[in-house]
Amino acid sequence: MRIIHLRKWPLLITCLLLAAGAFWASQSEHDWAQSQRAMVEADNVTETGVMEGERVADIQLPDKNGNQQSLYNLTDGKKAAVVFFTTWCEVCTEHWGGLQELKQAGKLENTEIIGVHLKTIDPDADLHDYFAGWESLPILVDGNGAVKEQFEIIGMPTVYLVDEEQQIQRRVLGPLTPHLIEKDPFFAE
């Protein structure tokens, strides 16, 4: 009888460690935990906010240099990928590197890439340092969270694919992968 009880201890300890890890992930303010919670929330929420098929709102925000910009002026009749991001999001950082490589390789030559930095949840970001080497990339700064609320951004990155007529073709929760770019008709000539 005593041997049976000893065999249960490893199982009990494993269960307690898993429960402690799950509690930490749900309560932690660590960047990784916040990013993971945002992605889980994104998976559990139906797509709302600015809907596919609607005309995208003309966002009026300052750029990373403080100059007021309009989304419509930046797209100017071109297809655009509007990327909502923070600098602490590791997936976003990898995403920007991948987009830059694809742009340089000519895979996105007919698509304007525009970033929207969510400053209310990333107040200490140095966008000039973050985008060193890609200074020409237009980055708008949502300083008060109004655009984040309007587009109901809950996970990063969130990408809106906007066509030449400024119609939203698709909302992508997560990064634009080379596979998605290759297969999605939005990126076809």
| pLDDT computed for residue 47 by the predictor | 39
Shared domain check, 109 and 148: yes
Looking at the structure, tell me whether residues 129 and 174 fall in a common domain.
yes
Domain extent, residue 21, equals: 2-41
pLDDT digits (tens, 9 = 90+) for 120-165: 999 999 999 999 989 999 999 999 999 999 998 989 999 999 999 9
56 and 35 housed in the same domain? no
Residue 168 has pLDDT above 80, yes or no: yes
Are both 95 and 146 inside the same structural domain? yes
Which residues contact residue 17 at a Cβ distance below 8 angstroms, ignoring those fewer than 6 apart? Answer: none
* pTM passes above 0.85: no
Q: 111 and 34: one domain? A: no
pLDDT averaged over every residue in the chain: 84
Whether residue 98 is found in the same domain as residue 171:
yes
Question: How is residue 63 annotated by DSSP?
Answer: B
Co-location of 71 and 161 in the same domain: yes
Question: 179 or 86: whose pLDDT is higher?
Answer: 86
Please check whether residues 51 and 31 belong to one and the same domain.
no
The reply to whether 77 and 145 lie within a common domain is: yes
Residue 39: per-residue pLDDT: 55
| Peptide bond just before 157 cis, omega within 30 deg | yes
Query: Domain tally for the chain?
Result: 2
Residues 82 and 94 placed together within one structural domain of the fold: yes
How much is the average pLDDT of 1-23? 69
What are the pLDDT digits (tens) for 29-78?
A: 665 555 665 555 544 443 335 788 888 988 999 999 999 999 999 998 89
Q: What is the CATH number of the domain that holds 79?
A: 3.40.30.10
pLDDT at 26: 66
pLDDT of residue 48: 35
Say whether both 75 and 49 belong to one domain.
Answer: yes
Q: C-alpha distances in angstroms, 63 versus 60, 98, 111, 112, 179?
A: 9, 22, 19, 15, 30
Determine the Cα–Cα distance for residues 92 and 86; give it in Å rounded to an integer. Answer: 7
Q: Residue 118 in contact with residue 145, Cβ under 8 Å?
A: yes
The confidence score (pLDDT) of residue 3 equals 55
156-166 pLDDT, tens digit each: 999 999 999 99
